[in-house]
Amino acid sequence: MIVLDGKAVAAQMRAEIRAEVENIRARGGRLPGLTVIVVGEDPASQVYVRNKERACAEVGFASQVIRLPETTAQERLLGIIDDLNADPAVDGILLQLPLPRGLDTQKCLIRIAAHKDVDGFHPENMGRLVQGLPGLRPCTPAGVMELLRRYDITCAGKHAVVVGRSTIVGKPMALMLLEAHATVTVCHSRTPDLGAITRQADILVAAVGMPCLIREDMVAEGAVVVDVGINRTEAGLVGDCDYPALTPKAAAMTPVPGGVGPMTIAMLLANTLTAYRQHSVSRF
């Protein structure tokens, strides 16, 4: 079985991005800038934001984190987003989710200028994905596609099964696989006999957040398995797939950790560079 080593591929991508930033610096250009906003003290969010901060520093972006108290009013957050939209030094804006209770996530996300929406969550970018137009794509599914590409795993003509229908992963994942000419089936919590469908998958993407949901008997011999799940259990971090049980059957599989997670952050950097490039020319 081939281990789809997201950690190594992400490091390679960061090296490529760092080289491009070095070029910009050598020419005396303005550096790409990402601003991350985090509201409140959610412990998982704090970890994710620190990782994003570290990745930005590694590639040489001019980045900042705006940390706001749990009690931040909606209007104040919208005002900060407006200021960042207008700031020419800011190419990308990322609002870390989830927001504390009392803040309207949709209202905030839609306020981010679509051309600075490096998360790809703005309805305009989602709409562009549906229509096959260029735009900023959500980082996790874009990271999965990049990982498959770099391992020369083609999607055209394959049956791709996506388990999960979230706005952040499952839905855009299905659309990107479709764009890559796969035949796509989306399963979710109301799908009866999940295994009967996952067994048909040439490419199986699990993105539900249920530890070891995908067992050995649910996967076909020779399938490519992509595990997007990150579940904190007593046994440590585990994915949505029973990794040791699937190892003899899968042709290729992502580990957890070290698979999709690092690719998500690498794609955030790639999206920021795309937004930077689009900033001074006509947008998309």
* 119 labelled catalytic: yes
Identify residues 163-182 at the interface with ligand GUN (CB under 6 A). Answer: 168
Q: What is the DSSP letter of 29?
A: P
Retrieve residue 191's tokens. 């799908």
94 sits near ligand GUN (criterion: CB under 6 A) = yes
* 200 labelled catalytic: no
Q: Please identify the residue of the shown chain whose CB is closest to the bound ligand GUN.
A: 97
Minimum CB distance to ligand GUN, residue 277 (Å): 21
Is the Cβ of residue 79 or residue 98 nearer to ligand GUN in the bound state? Answer: 98
**94: helix, coil or strand?**
strand
Is the Cβ of residue 48 or residue 243 nearer to ligand GUN in the bound state? Answer: 48
Element (H, E) at 185: strand 183-187
Counting every residue written for the chain, the total comes to: 284
What separation in angstroms does the CA of 133 have from each of 92, 124, 136, 146, 175?
19, 10, 10, 18, 12
Among the candidate windows 14-22, 95-103, 209-217, 275-283, which touches ligand GUN by CB under 6 A?
95-103
Minimum CB distance to ligand GUN, residue 117 (Å): 10
List CB contacts of 212: < 8 A, sequence separation 6 or more: 238, 239, 240, 241, 242
Retrieve residue 232's tokens. 């904190």
Whether 34 contacts 181, CB under 8 Å: no
Minimum CB distance to ligand GUN, residue 95 (Å): 6
Minimum CB distance to ligand GUN, residue 182 (Å): 23
237 sits near ligand GUN (criterion: CB under 6 A) = no
Give dist(CA 109, CA 118) in Å, integer: 11
95 sits near ligand GUN (criterion: CB under 6 A) = yes
Whether 63 contacts 122, CB under 8 Å: no
Retrieve residue 44's tokens. 């998982």
Is the Cβ of residue 162 or residue 219 nearer to ligand GUN in the bound state? Answer: 162
For 60-169, where are the alpha helices, taking DSSP H only?
Answer: 74-86, 105-111, 123-131, 139-150
139 sits near ligand GUN (criterion: CB under 6 A) = yes
- Tokens 């412990």 found at: 43
203 sits near ligand GUN (criterion: CB under 6 A) = no
Query: Of 5, 91, 117, 119, which is the active-site residue?
Result: 119
* 217 labelled catalytic: no
Q: Using only C-alpha atoms, what is the Rg of the chain?
A: 19
Q: Which of 5, 91, 119, 227 binds ligand GUN (CB under 6 A)?
A: 119
Minimum CB distance to ligand GUN, residue 184 (Å): 21
Residues designated as active site: 52, 96, 119
List of residues contacting ligand GUN (CB under 6 A): 48, 94-97, 119, 139, 168
